[in-house]
Amino acid sequence: LEIIQSLIPRLNPRWKQLNYVALEPNPIHRGRFLERLDQASLGENVEVSVCDDYFEPGKFESQQKYDLVLLTHVLYYFDEPYQAIQSALTQTKEGGKVVIVHQTATGIPQIQREHMLEAKGNQNEMFTAQDIRNLLDTQSHQHQYHHVHARLDVTECLQGFETGVKIMSFCMECDLRQFQEAKFFKILQAFWRLAEIEDSGKAFINEPIGVFVLPAPSVTVEQRSPEDQDPVIDYWQLAQRFDWSGTFLSQYHRGKSSSDLRLLDVACGTGRWLEAFSHYIQLDEGIDNVVYDCLDPCGSSISQASKKIHPPFQQGNQYVNTIQGAQLESNAYDLLWSMHGFYMIPRQDLKPVLKKCASLLNDTGVGFIGLATRKSFYVDFYEQYLQIFKDGKGEGFTSAEDVIESLGECGIQHQVHRIFYEEPIKADDYAALEHYIKNEATVNCFNKDKEAEQLSESKNITLEDLLSHPEMERYLNSLLRNSVYYFPEEIWLISFNGSQC
């Protein structure tokens, strides 16, 4: 009921009506909810229906799609929590959200870990926010996480009142009134140990809550567009595996003084990312003007990128410079992104560069950095190359982990969306192999045009040299399956706002 009441003030001006559908198969809980509902005054623009259905994956199939699906303290009870999350996402409209509210590992779960097995014979409902985060990360689900400080009033529990025993029973998922006194006392002692007693005599256990916000997946294009002639799938993956249309729409609605959005592309290169974005992302028709500023140290790259700027993007300023050296306007951008553009930024420059990027964003702006991790072929191969051919001498690529570490040191809050995929190349496709291994993995081709010089450490190496060296051959053969090389890529799409130290 409190959730409904909190939503009502947020209806106007965008939404005029709230249709709230609640599922509660337990007749006792459902009856109590209906009683409270009868006593509440919610207004004419709120309609609430309460159903006795189970939200079982594969069983609950509603033709209705929802703007918001709430899973509040319920994932404990599903045998397959991830399937429940997937079902919630399928019931959500494109552009909508799934919100999961769940206990963290602090508070009652500490008592459950200590006593639940003995109390009820199993720990089936032991499931915390960290478990949910692990599931989402493993499945590369984009999400935002919010840690909410909360406390549980256990005053009546410690006093042994009937209501308090019911609260304790609920927490332990069994009826403690049936327990022998000694067994009950052990659990009561655990509550006492965690409780903080205030001067007023009230007792509380710290019970923080984790809140996950998942955007509904956009319609996924399973195959690349015929117009997409990029030699690799990197930018297609970045376009398909994140809710870009929802992000732009959110920024559009947050705009305070202008209907235009302003975007800076850092290390834009020849516009490969922008081209993929145009192929696969359809922005809301209300977004009719996005001023697109390009920054890259190579003028010919910017020239090529500018030819790929099409409505609703409008050509803005062009900065032929590095992000370190460019003179840019602070607090100016709604969006900033750099896709595969940070590999060649020296690690010692990361902190000032990230601070600068954060300072370029306006109060509601958001920045994105897409970069491979150390597990990815892009980063790992060049490290292997330096070890095998150069005795470990030379600077490797800056990785996504380096960026995360520097963001933390700067005090810039950030989120990470993980994208996993493999680039398949047939072993007998010599030209494609040479391009991928030499150009994509050892040349800063993400930032420079085709005429750019290769990295000094690898410019004279040939594919034959790589494949004929025993250690490198062994490394590459580990990626070979059924005459196809599968190059693993783990890309972190890192988002951040304008806050900085």
Same domain, 329 and 463: yes
304, part of any domain: yes
- Using one digit for the tens of pLDDT, what is the confidence trace for 343-367? 989 999 999 999 999 999 999 999 9
Kindly state whether residue 265 falls inside one of the protein's structural domains. yes
pLDDT for 83: 84
Output the pLDDT for position 451. Answer: 39
Q: Are 116 and 239 contained in the same domain?
A: no
At 140 the pLDDT is 64
Supply the DSSP symbol for 10: G
For residue 493, the surrounding DSSP H or E stretch is: strand 484-496
Tell whether 221 is covered by a domain: no
C-alpha distances out from residue 369 to 215, 238, 358, 472, Å:
19, 11, 12, 30
Q: Is the backbone of residue 219 left (phi > 0), alpha (psi -120 to 50) or beta?
A: beta
- The last residue of a domain, from among 159, 181, 215: 215
Counted domains in the chain: 2
Per-residue pLDDT tens digits for 294-315: 999 999 999 999 999 999 999 9
Could you tell me if residue 464 is inside a domain? yes
Pair 243, 392 in one domain: yes
Within a domain: 176:
no
- Cis bond leading into 208, ω under 30°? no
Say what the pLDDT of residue 124 is. Answer: 64
Q: For tokens 């994932």, name the residue.
A: 75
Q: Is 38 exposed, middle or buried (0-12, 13-18, 19+ CB in 10 A)?
A: exposed
Cβ atoms < 10 Å from Cβ of 319: 21
* 271 lies in the same domain as 416: yes
Q: Which residues of the chain have pLDDT under 70?
A: 10-15, 57-63, 123-125, 140, 217-222, 256-259, 443-461, 499-501
Q: Are 157 and 164 in contact (CB under 8 A)?
A: yes
Considering the domain architecture, whether residues 347 and 265 belong to the same structural domain is answered as: yes
State the pLDDT at residue 454. 43
Partners of 262 in the β-ladder: 291
> Residue 71: exposed, middle, or buried by beta-carbon count in 10 A (0-12, 13-18, 19+)?
buried
**Beta pairing, strands 92-103 & 66-72:** parallel
Give me the domain span that covers residue 358. 234-496
For the residues of 399-428, what is the DSSP string, one character each?
-HHHHHHHHHHHT--EEEEEEEEEEEEETT
346: number of Cβ within 10 Å? 10
Last residue within a domain, chosen from 161, 185, 215 = 215
DSSP for residue 198: -
Query: Can you read off the two tokens belonging to residue 34?
Result: 């209906």
Q: Judge if 278 and 211 occupy the same domain.
A: no
Q: Residue 142: give its domain's CATH number.
A: 3.40.50.150
* One domain, residues 247 and 133: no
Q: Is 463 exposed, middle or buried (0-12, 13-18, 19+ CB in 10 A)?
A: middle
**Buried/exposed 172-209: b ≥16 CB within 10 Å, e otherwise:** bbbebeebeeeebeebbebbeebbeeeeeeebbbbbeb
Asked if residue 211 and residue 280 are part of one domain, the reply reads: no
Tell me how far CA of residue 480 lies from CA of 405, 427, 428, 464, 487, in angstroms.
33, 8, 12, 17, 9
Whether residue 374 sits in one domain with residue 408:
yes
Residues 211 and 298 in one domain: no
Identify whether the C-beta of residue 270 lies closer than 8 Å to the C-beta of residue 452.
Answer: no
* Same-domain pairing of 143 and 248: no
224, two tokens: 């690349």
Q: Which of 163, 186, 215 is the last residue of a domain?
A: 215
Between CA 42 and CA 48 the distance in angstroms is: 9
Co-location of 238 and 329 in the same domain = yes
